[in-house]
Amino acid sequence: MKTTDTLLLIVLAAIWGSSFMFMRATVDAFGPIALITVRVGVAALFLSLFLLQLKRRKEFLAHWQHLAWIGVINSALPFVLFSYASISLTGGNVSLLNTMTPVFTAIIAHYWLKDKMSSPQIMGLIICIIGLIILVWDKLDITGSSSLLAILAGICAPLFYGFASNSTKKYLSDVSPLTATAGSLLFATLFMLLFLPFFMPEISHISHRDWAYAIILGLVCTAIAYLIFFKLIHDIGPSRAVSVTFLIPIFAFIWGYLVLDEVVTPKMWGATVIIIIGMSYVLKLIGPKNHVIETKTKKAR
C-alpha cells in the first residue's frame, strides 16, 4: 500500500474519531433523526454543487439506483443508529462498537465478492480484535446508563457499513469518488427528510454551539471524510479501507483527552500499540509478503 494511502487512513481516522464526540455533544438537542438529517443535508448541499458538472451529472444519472441504495445503508441508517447509541453511550464507546465494521466487511467480501483474506491478514485481524477487547472490557457495561438497545444499535450500524463498502466496490468501482460521495449523500438526505416531520426538535432549544457542531459533522466529518473514504475504497479495496475503524477509537480517546479532559490510561495506550501492529498485518505493511516476493525472484533465476 502506498504511503499516501496510509496517511489518508490516518487523517480519516482522526476526522471520524472526532465525529463521535460531536454526535454525543449534539444528539440530546436535535434527536437522532434531526441531527442526521442536518448532517447528511449539509454534506449533500456542499457536494452536490460538483454534480452540476456535465461529467458528474452523467455518472450520477447512470448509477443513481446504486447510489440511492448505498446512500441509505452507508449514511442514513448507520448514522441514525450511532446517534441513538450516543444518547446512552459515550463517544469513545460508540467508536469502539464501530470497529466491528472490518469484521463484517471481510465476512461479506469473503462470501459475496470472493475476496479472501490471506493468513497474515487474518492474524492481523485477530490481533486487532484482541486490542479492541482490551479497550472495550471495562467500557461496554449494559447496566446503568449504557442500555442494551444502544449497544445493539451500535453493532447493527457496522453491519450496514460492511454491506455498503462491498456494494461500492461491486457497483461503483468505475464511478469517481466525488460522484459516489455526493450522489449517495443526496439520496441519504432525501431518505431522512421522509422521517423528519415526525421527529422535529424544538428549534429554540438548540444552541449556536449545537448548530456549529452539526455543521462540522456535515462538512468535515461527512463530506470531506467520505471523499477520502470512497477514494480509499477505489484505490485499496473495501477490506483495507474499512480497517480505518481500528484507528478511530484511538483518535476518539485523544480528542476526548484534548477537548473534554478525559483521562487516557496506560492500558489504552497499550491497546493502541496492539491495534496498530494488527492493522499493519491487515494492510500488508508488515509480514511475509516481501519474503514471498524474494522467493519467487530466486526461483525465476
What is the pLDDT confidence band of residue 267, given thresholds at 50, 70 and 90?
confident
Closest CA to 47 of 209, 243, 230, 210: 230
pLDDT of residue 100: 77
* 271-288 average pLDDT score: 74
Tell whether 54 is covered by a domain.
Answer: yes
Residue 299 falls inside a structural domain: no
Q: Is residue 74 part of a domain?
A: yes
User: What was the pLDDT predicted at 297?
Assistant: 42
Domains in the chain, number: 1
Residue 198's pLDDT band (cuts 50, 70, 90): very high
Mean pLDDT of 272-289: 72
Q: Is residue 296 part of a domain?
A: no
What is the tens place of the pLDDT at every residue in 138-158?
655 555 555 678 888 988 998
The larger pLDDT score, comparing residue 196 to residue 121, is at 196
Look up the domain containing 130 and give its range. Answer: 3-285
Q: Is residue 293 part of a domain?
A: no
Residue 244 lies in a domain: yes
Query: Looking at the predicted structure, is the pLDDT value of residue 37 above 90?
Result: yes
**What's the mean pLDDT when you consider all of the chain?**
82
Does some domain include residue 119? Answer: yes
Could you tell me if 13 and 244 are in contact, meaning their C-beta atoms sit under 8 angstroms apart?
Answer: yes
20 falls within a domain: yes
